């Protein structure tokens, strides 16, 4: 593989104008397609195989008016007045008349006839049913809904919204996190390289990759449902991986230039050595993200594939566009102002790069780790286990209005409903009969359901010749464990419920759907982990041609991800970050553990490949296992530190958004990357490898015969070019 990458790097270098033109054309085409398609993300998703999805499908066939998106409009009278007073009532009734004329509105129930008035008379609920699914409701229709409630506002009534679709429900990505992350990344690169051109090239290639990926995802959103979190994950990974992959290759190339190698040959050699590590690291991330499809939930499959596509684009750019740009940059990447290099100079004075010096912080740290290896290993593992303790209390759920900031209309609606009606009104359940039944039987069913524990009220919602629907309002909130217990209790004792009505019943609704999603994700985690870890084990075994290194890598990942889970639970579920991050303590987003497993595992494998490949390179040349750990860690410490800090800063930047889900994702990724890079890969891993010694590279005899050698560290390539493996780049035999 290293030979092919070497040739690819030289090809891109020699045809740099064609390569740059190609990628610019791809970016322009992606922008045009995204603009013409008009694609938009939405958070509507299906959960195949669950009872709540069966309920939704049944309603689509038999009672379409109740199968579309739903908005709950909350009207709250001013202080010291009631919503039934003449002034507020007139405003609400006028607003209701106008709501019914809004395009795509199927029904809008009158709260005064349906008795949807709070016991204290302060708040009225208007349930608006749309003709299409939430993703099919046009923004223009939501704008008209806002205009329709103006008479109520003019009467002094507070108007808020909640439901599956409402004005402002779409998450509009902010450019601020990306901007902050890129600025911090540029500063880190500037410190790492000490050259403006070298710092700018990885940023430029990462931005281009994100543009291509994001525009492609936007274009696809016009034909398939893509959750808003998918674009956020794609942007995070596109920026982080794009910058990191460029950093690893550029770092190797710059060191080679400083040691006197020709620019063209150095570009090819950097791609043939560091590029091999980049390829295997990227493939590991892509495998982990594609593994999300095993869960069987379409929106998570799309999220994983979107992230994998962003990483794949970042990889392709690093292997083609980056060498082309390095051809244009020449020797300018070695300093702010290169006054010593002039055209016509074929040789440079070789000098030891900072990464190879025994006096760097990385070299001193690696010596410390190797010298105190048992203590370092035990301390690192103990720290990670301690951080992981809160993960034992993890409670999964999907975000509700309670998790939103108080400036959000969904949160204000949630609080008004909870205060004046009860928390259960924020997440009613739907009990649906699969056959038409007599009105008396429906009333008996509602009466029987009303007597169930944790049920506040139950009443017939709609009926026809095919189905009957009873609306059940729990006493507890949508994400309360008691509500989940109610749903499971009704399903577990289905026979008793069906005996009352004399027909099969299903329990569904938005709240039941969220409960089903959380349970399905929880059940899928072990399967997903086994699939991803198994595939990654095969890939890492192929990369390093040994069994113990992949096992060590996977154990280190499990420690770091468990610690990241624990930190996330403490901050967002226990509320330790209430004042730091401005969040309301809430359950852990049910899909967060799964995407954390996928992404952090992939990124941790990045650092594993970059660190261990340098150690293996040194061991191949010297056969000194403990010394190879010390020297290999020292040579990779600077670039891995820079890469991890860049990823950390990009993920942290996303915590400046107002959406609590995005905050939780950004925080969890940042903590996971930080712990895995600094505690696991640069501390625990070298300590363990130093203790195990040469046995870490053990493999059965048959292994060498049947497992191909991809030569990711480029040792074979260096021998072909007459370079002594493991020696500073540019040192020929």
Q: Does domain 58-163 have CATH number 3.20.20.80?
A: no
Q: Does domain 2-38+172-338+357-397+515-720 have CATH number 3.50.50.60?
A: no
Model confidence at 150, in pLDDT bands (50, 70, 90)?
Answer: very high
Question: Which CATH architecture best describes the domain 429-508?
Answer: 2-Layer Sandwich (3.30)
Residue 469 has pLDDT above 80, yes or no: yes
| pLDDT at site 724 | 54
DSSP 211-259: HHHHHHHHHHTTTS---HHHHHHHHHHHHHHHHHHHHHHHHHHHHHHHT
| pLDDT at site 45 | 65
429-508 has the same fold as 58-163:
yes
pLDDT tens-digit series, residues 571-621: 888 888 777 777 777 788 888 888 888 778 777 777 888 888 888 888 878
Q: What is the mean pLDDT of residues 149-177?
A: 84
pLDDT tens-digit series, residues 677-731: 999 999 999 999 999 888 888 777 776 677 766 766 666 666 666 665 444 444 4
Residue among 288, 314, 277, 295 nearest 602 (CA): 288
How far apart CA 498 and CA 491 sit, in angstroms, is: 10
Model confidence at 142, in pLDDT bands (50, 70, 90)?
Answer: very high
DSSP 545-568: S-SHHHHHHHHHHHHHHHHHHHHH
Q: Yes or no: say if 121 and 89 are a contact pair by the CB < 8 Å rule.
A: no
Residue 22 has pLDDT above 80, yes or no: yes
Most distant CA pair in the chain, distance: 97
Predicted model pTM: 0.78
Domain ranges of the chain: 2-38+172-338+357-397+515-720, 58-163, 429-508
Q: What percent of the chain has pLDDT over 90?
A: 29
């Amino acid at each position: 593989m290293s030979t092919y990458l070497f040739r690819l790097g030289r090809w891109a270098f020699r045809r740099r104008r064609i390569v740059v033109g190609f990628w610019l054309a791809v970016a322009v085409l992606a922008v045009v397609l995204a603009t013409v398609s008009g694609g938009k993300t939405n958070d509507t998703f299906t959960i195949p195989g669950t009872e709540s999805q069966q309920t939704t499908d049944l309603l689509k066939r038999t009672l379409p008016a109740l199968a579309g998106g739903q908005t709950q409009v909350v009207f709250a009278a001013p202080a010291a007045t009631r919503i039934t007073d003449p002034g507020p009532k007139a405003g609400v009734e006028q607003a209701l008349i106008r709501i019914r004329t809004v395009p795509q509105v199927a029904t809008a129930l009158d709260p005064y006839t349906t008795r949807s008035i709070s016991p204290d008379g302060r708040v009225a609920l208007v349930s608006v049913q749309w003709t299409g699914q939430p993703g099919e409701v046009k923004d223009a229709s939501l704008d008209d809904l806002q205009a329709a409630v103006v008479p109520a506002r003019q009467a002094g009534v507070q108007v808020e919204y909640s439901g599956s679709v409402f004005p402002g429900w779409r998450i509009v990505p902010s450019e601020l996190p990306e901007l902050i992350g890129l600025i911090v990344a540029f500063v880190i690169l500037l410190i790492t390289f000490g050259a403006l051109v070298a710092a700018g090239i990885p940023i430029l290639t990462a931005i281009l990759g994100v543009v291509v990926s994001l525009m492609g995802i936007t274009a696809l959103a016009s034909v398939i449902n893509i959750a808003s979190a998918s674009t956020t994950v794609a942007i995070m990974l596109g920026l982080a991986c794009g910058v990191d992959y460029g950093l690893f290759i550029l770092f190797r190339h710059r060191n080679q230039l400083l040691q006197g190698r020709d620019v063209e040959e150095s570009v090819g050699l950097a791609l043939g050595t560091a590029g091999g590590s980049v390829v295997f690291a990227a493939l590991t991330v892509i495998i982990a993200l594609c593994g999300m499809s095993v869960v069987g939930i379409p929106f998570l499959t799309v999220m994983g594939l979107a992230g994998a596509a962003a990483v794949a684009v970042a990889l392709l750019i690093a292997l083609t566009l980056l060498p082309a740009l390095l051809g244009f940059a020449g020797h300018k990447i070695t300093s702010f102002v290169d006054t010593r290099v002039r055209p016509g100079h074929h040789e440079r004075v070789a000098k030891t790069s900072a990464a190879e010096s025994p006096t760097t912080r990385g070299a001193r740290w690696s010596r410390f780790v190797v010298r105190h290896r048992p203590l370092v290993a035990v301390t690192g593992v103990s720290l990670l286990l301690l951080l992981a303790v809160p993960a034992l209390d993890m409670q999964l759920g999907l975000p509700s209005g309670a998790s939103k900031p108080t400036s959000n209309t969904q949160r204000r609606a949630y609080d008004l409903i909870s205060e004046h009606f009860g928390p259960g009104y924020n997440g009613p359940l739907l009990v649906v009969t699969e056959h038409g039944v007599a009105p008396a039987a429906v009333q008996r069913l509602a009466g029987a359901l009303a007597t169930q524990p944790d049920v506040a009220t139950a009443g017939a919602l709609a009926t026809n010749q095919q189905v009957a629907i009873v609306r059940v309002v729990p006493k507890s909130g949508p994400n309360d464990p008691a509500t989940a217990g109610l749903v499971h209790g009704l399903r577990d004792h289905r026979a008793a419920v069906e005996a009352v009505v004399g027909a099969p019943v299903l329990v569904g609704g938005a709240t039941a759907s969220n409960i089903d999603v959380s349970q399905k994700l929880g059940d899928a985690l072990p399967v997903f982990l086994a699939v991803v870890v198994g595939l990654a084990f095969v890939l890492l075994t192929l990369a390093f041609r040994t069994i113990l290194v992949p096992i060590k890598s996977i154990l280190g990942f499990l420690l770091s991800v468990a610690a990241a889970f624990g930190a996330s639970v403490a901050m967002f579920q226990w509320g330790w970050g209430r004042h730091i991050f401005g969040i309301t303590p809430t359950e852990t987003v049910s899909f967060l553990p799964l995407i954390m497993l996928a992404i952090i595992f992939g990124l941790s494998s990045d650092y594993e490949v970059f660190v261990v490949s340098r150690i293996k390179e040194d061991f191949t040349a010297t056969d000194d296992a403990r010394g190879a750990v010390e020297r290999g860690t020292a040579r990779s410490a600077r670039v891995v530190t820079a890469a991890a800090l860049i990823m950390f800063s990009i993920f942290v930047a996303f915590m400046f958004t107002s959406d609590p889900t995005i905050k939780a994702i950004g925080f969890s990724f940042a903590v996971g990357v930080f712990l895995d890079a600094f505690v696991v890969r640069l501390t625990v891993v070298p300590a363990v490898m130093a203790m195990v010694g040469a046995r870490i590279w053990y493999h059965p005899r048959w292994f060498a015969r049947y497992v191909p050698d991809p030569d990711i560290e480029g040792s074979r390539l260096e021998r072909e070019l007459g370079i002594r493996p493991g020696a500073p780049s540019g040192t020929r035999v």
